[in-house]
Structure 1
Amino acid sequence: MLYNSTQNAAEVVSAAQAIAQGISKDGGLFVPQEFPKYSAETFNELLKLDYKGRAKKVFADFLSDFTEEEINDCVENAYTKEKFGSDNPAPLAYAKLNGRELNILELWHGPTCAFKDMALQILPHFLTKSLKKTYDGKDAVILVATSGDTGKAALEGFKDVDHTKIIVFYPVDGVSPMQKHQMNTQEGNNVTVCAIKGNFDDAQTGVKKIFTTPEISAKLEANNMLFSSANSINWGRLLPQIVYYISAYCDLVNAGKIAMGDKINVVVPTGNFGNILASYYASIMGLPINKFICASNSNNVLSDFIKTGVYDKNRHFYTTISPSMDILVSSNLERLLYKLSGNNADTTKELMTALKTVGKYEVSDEIKAEITSKFFGGFCNDEQTKATIKALFDTDNYLCDTHTAVAVNVYEQYVEQTGDTTPSVIASTASPYKFSKAVLEAVSDGTNLPENEFDMVEKLFEVSNAPVPAPLAALKDKKARFSDVTEVNSMPQYVLDALNIK
């Protein structure tokens, strides 16, 4: 299994190099040259396995330069009961709304209570093994731009991992108080956290620019270091996300909710397009998916694109109660465009150049037709998000966070508009306690709320009786270690200073 850059057909790398490098030198993203095909027989075998067994099968098919022993070691160390609370790190929950049963894929039972743990608990194991295969002796510098969840999950995954250093940038006013406290209290001798004066897109663009600046890369090289990424631009981040859609399908079959071979819909709240792209890749492998339902908040650049074929980031940026989706540049969409253009790197590069220079692009009629046939895009605002949280709680006593609520709301829109009642899996991406203020406002009358974030957690527990995740409860008395704030154009120098490179 080899990998190409989405923007340079001549660049061909191994899985280990794709993971260690993170991003192509030309700025493109690494994608598999081909996808393994899973037959009905393959899925019947997967039914018999637990989550770890299914993960090992998928990883072995994509990471051909990893030994069986190496993959086994990665999986066994990542998906432990100690970290995820059970043998199934991605369980299905069932709730009802408007007479419909919702199959909710809870992806937030890991150490930072967000879906990013599913990938970022295993990425450090992938990366350290990849470094030994391809860049033996070098330290990896993990640069991360985060809209909230990726940062903490990456910090937790990489803390004190040998031969790695991690630097996380987040928008100073663009994450929840809980997310900020999670990052700024992070332990570990190899971690650095810094806020930027800007939004997530500024942070993401800044990180990508640092990656592709030859002068900075040369300075790292001289100090026996290289850049890598823990964002979903790294193939080692995206690959683990494919697993939980395949596993959820097997769990639905085993639970008698569907029969083997039945199609499902997938509903994903997404800003950077990685989580929903993973389900699309699973479908290429043979997972029977009927429709990909892409749920956005008021920053609805993706839902507009799905409907029109025009991607235009030149629009108002909203700071919402679902901050992990406050994104106007959806990095992983590049991988979908590459696939739908027939793996045409020139076409992809042309579109990405247009996005960078004028802030918009329009795809061909052929690509647009393919997208509209497979994808549905919808969005809702903050008030609709809160109303959905309340409706789900009042109807079935199920408490969800602000991102999951966006997905549920857009799913309801989809059913009303299409009448399609295909069984659907809704990705639940974070614990409601990570966004206590907004969730508490939704399920209570919104008056006399506590001012302190952790008092809000306690109040939400009183109201809902939903268990508070232990990692969040443990944060209450932790003191902040990091308080730096920098300008976007100062990010390169900040990185060099953090690494003690002159």
Structure 2
Amino acid sequence: MDLIYASTRNAEEKVTASQAILKGLAGEGGLFVPTAIPALDIDLDDLAKMTYQETAYAVMSRFLTDFTEEELKNCINAAYDSKFDTEEIAPLVSADGAYYLELFHGSTIAFKDMALSILPHLLITAARKNQVKNDIVILTATSGDTGKAALAGFADVKGTKIIVFYPKHGVSPIQEKQMVTQKGENTFVVGINGNFDQAQTGVKKMFSDAKLAKVMDAAGYQFSSANSINIGRLVPQIVYYVYAYAKLYANGEIKKGEKINVVVPTGNFGNILAAFYAKNMGLPIAKLICASNENRVLYDFFSTGTYDKNREFILTSSPSMDILISSNLERLIYRIAGNDAAKNEAFMKALSSEGKYEITAEMKEQLKDFYGNYTTEAETAEVIKDLYEKTGYVIDTHTAVAAGVYHKYLKETNDTDTKTVIASTASPYKFTRSVMDAIDKEKYDSMTDFELVDELSRISNVKVPQAIEDIRSAKVLHDTVCEVDEMESVVKKFLNI
């Protein structure tokens, strides 16, 4: 029987997996969630022998039930191929008492590749299944990594266009260069004079604008999303937690059924929500450790039960986490509210009108699997330096936030026996200046960004990724910058409507 997806804000809205992927966002701004979490009913001894692609099919086939075996396997094989620079796709590296799950071996050297390599294939397959005649316009906001990964995935894909909005002064130089040099007749990149939350709000507003949808339809277009609000982004992220556990078991690092902790640097809450879904499928996860930077809205939420975005927005060295509205948290709120769309909608209305909401004591009780904390900028830099000096292993700023929070968790709980996987979400090459400043600011301060790239390669003994080599001399192809209130008119101009 097909698994059905429901809207978090309207109990009446129910769709298939392919329809949920196509729509991206549910009506009234809701998100699609599976009406049940399927069980991972495969013996661990079998999982331990599987390749990444086989694991992906084992997990995704349980969620995307209206895709045929052939359709889904075609999507998986087209996604997880030679565009990844390692056969394992997501290798585990042991360093300083933890296992770093390297999720940055795809074409844009960030974890978003893990899902955005497959989303275009799922979307085009879903469009065919549902007899969609319109071209699909991928409209997305990025805090740095989703943008490039989505652009790379959708560039020149027939029947699609992609428009990416990013905060002009809120991403790293490498992140910006990756986006503004993107080739493809169907790609459009726009910097906004604002922050990520404003970009994301602007995108959501266009999604829920019925008048704009009619104009689009008349012109032969319809919107879909590449953000983690799209369930087609979330489901592929569950895979790598299952794969990591199976690999730990295959390598003799854990016993069958032994629980592990998972630490995730968290901004929009999608990556850690995928780990939560993996746990609810039956994967033996003990604690879900939610790591925040100085924009500590999620840490405060887990500590107090109040989600409050009314605070200063801080630009940090981990820009992909510079977020005050964690969109995917809504999926968790809906679940702990008893899958009650009306209750969830009331919380989201309060967030929209007052900038905050407070969950009930009963709901807070259901968050015991989570542990939240944050690291300061100084602590993040210290973690990078310390790990490099101890082991020679270099991590990026986001992964350092996760490692820093893990150290705080250990200090608070003394839970040294539970094996722990840290989601390493970006290559240090993506944030070279911040990483090298952390290791030795005085020594590297005068170097250019690309001199730092070569120096990082030398000290880490890791080859410069192709994604970085490609942008050394790449021409800027996108130079549009707009105000927040001009986003819709910029979209219309690109689409000639």
TM-score normalized with structure 2 length: 0.98
Equivalent position of 2:55 in the other structure: 54
Please report how far the alpha carbon of residue 452 of structure 1 lies from its aligned counterpart in structure 2 after TM superposition. 2.8
CA contact (8 A) 1:399 1:466 kept: no
Residue 30 (1) aligns with residue 32 (2): yes
Residue 249 (1) aligns with residue 245 (2): yes
Q: Distance in 1 between matches of 2:155 and 2:182?
A: 8
Equivalent position of 2:91 in the other structure: 91
Equivalent position of 1:380 in the other structure: 375
Please report how far the alpha carbon of residue 47 of structure 1 lies from its aligned counterpart in structure 2 after TM superposition. 1.6
Equivalent residues in 2 for 1:184-195 (5 A)? 184-195=180-191
Equivalent position of 1:298 in the other structure: 294
Please report how far the alpha carbon of residue 448 of structure 1 lies from its aligned counterpart in structure 2 after TM superposition. 5.0
Q: Distance in 1 between matches of 2:369 and 2:408?
A: 16
Please report how far the alpha carbon of residue 38 of structure 1 lies from its aligned counterpart in structure 2 after TM superposition. 2.1
Q: Distance in 2 between matches of 1:57 and 1:50?
A: 11
Residue 270 (1) aligns with residue 266 (2): yes
Please report how far the alpha carbon of residue 135 of structure 1 lies from its aligned counterpart in structure 2 after TM superposition. 4.3
Equivalent residues in 2 for 1:107-126 (5 A)? 107-126=103-122
Equivalent position of 1:16 in the other structure: 18
Residue 207 (1) aligns with residue 209 (2): no
Kindly provide the amino acid, as one letter, of the partner of residue 196 in structure 2.
Answer: F
CA contact (8 A) 2:444 2:452 kept: no
Output one character per residue of 1:447-496: Cα deviation in whole Å (capped at 9) or x when no partner: 45245321221222233333211211221010100111101011011111
Equivalent position of 1:402 in the other structure: 397
Q: Distance in 1 between matches of 2:459 and 2:51?
A: 35
Kindly provide the amino acid, as one letter, of the partner of residue 286 in structure 2.
Answer: N
CA contact (8 A) 2:84 2:105 kept: yes
CA contact (8 A) 1:252 1:258 kept: yes
Choose which of 168, 191, 194 in structure 2 pairs with 1:172. 168
Equivalent position of 2:384 in the other structure: 389
Q: Distance in 2 between matches of 1:186 and 1:452?
A: 22
- Secondary structure of the 2:12 match is strand
Equivalent position of 1:320 in the other structure: 316
- Secondary structure of the 1:293 match is strand
CA contact (8 A) 2:436 2:444 kept: no
Q: Distance in 2 between matches of 1:214 and 1:490?
A: 18
- Secondary structure of the 1:393 match is helix
- Secondary structure of the 2:128 match is helix
Q: Distance in 2 between matches of 1:91 and 1:74?
A: 21
Kindly provide the amino acid, as one letter, of the partner of residue 65 in structure 2.
Answer: S
Equivalent residues in 2 for 1:216-365 (5 A)? 216-365=212-361
Please report how far the alpha carbon of residue 42 of structure 1 lies from its aligned counterpart in structure 2 after TM superposition. 3.1
Q: Distance in 1 between matches of 2:249 and 2:145?
A: 31
RMSD, matched Cα? 1.0
Kindly provide the amino acid, as one letter, of the partner of residue 212 in structure 2.
Answer: I
- Between the two proteins, the alignment pairs up a number of residues equal to 494
Q: Distance in 2 between matches of 1:445 and 1:163?
A: 47
Please report how far the alpha carbon of residue 74 of structure 1 lies from its aligned counterpart in structure 2 after TM superposition. 0.4
Choose which of 182, 196, 200 in structure 1 pairs with 2:192. 196
Kindly provide the amino acid, as one letter, of the partner of residue 164 in structure 1.
Answer: T
Aligned CA distance change for structure 1 residues 164 and 190 (closer, same or farther; 3 Å)? same
Q: Distance in 1 between matches of 2:457 and 2:244?
A: 28
Please report how far the alpha carbon of residue 337 of structure 1 lies from its aligned counterpart in structure 2 after TM superposition. 0.6
Q: Distance in 2 between matches of 1:448 and 1:281?
A: 42
Q: Distance in 1 between matches of 2:147 and 2:40?
A: 33
Please report how far the alpha carbon of residue 215 of structure 1 lies from its aligned counterpart in structure 2 after TM superposition. 1.1
Aligned CA distance change for structure 1 residues 224 and 90 (closer, same or farther; 3 Å)? same
Q: Distance in 2 between matches of 1:490 and 1:167?
A: 14
CA contact (8 A) 1:444 1:463 kept: no
Structure 2: runs of 5+ lacking an equivalent: none
Kindly provide the amino acid, as one letter, of the partner of residue 7 in structure 2.
Answer: S
Kindly provide the amino acid, as one letter, of the partner of residue 63 in structure 1.
Answer: L
Q: Distance in 2 between matches of 1:463 and 1:425?
A: 25
Q: Distance in 2 between matches of 1:461 and 1:53?
A: 33
Equivalent position of 1:72 in the other structure: 73
CA contact (8 A) 1:450 1:456 kept: no
Kindly provide the amino acid, as one letter, of the partner of residue 402 in structure 1.
Answer: T
CA contact (8 A) 2:206 2:488 kept: yes
Deviates more, 1:44-53 or 1:380-389: 44-53
Equivalent position of 2:156 in the other structure: 160
Equivalent residues in 2 for 1:131-150 (5 A)? 131-150=127-146
Q: Distance in 2 between matches of 1:375 and 1:425?
A: 15
Output one character per residue of 1:323-347: Cα deviation in whole Å (capped at 9) or x when no partner: 0000000000000011111111011
CA contact (8 A) 1:138 1:226 kept: yes
- Secondary structure of the 1:426 match is strand
CA contact (8 A) 2:115 2:233 kept: yes
Q: Distance in 2 between matches of 1:25 and 1:451?
A: 50
Q: Distance in 2 between matches of 1:122 and 1:460?
A: 30
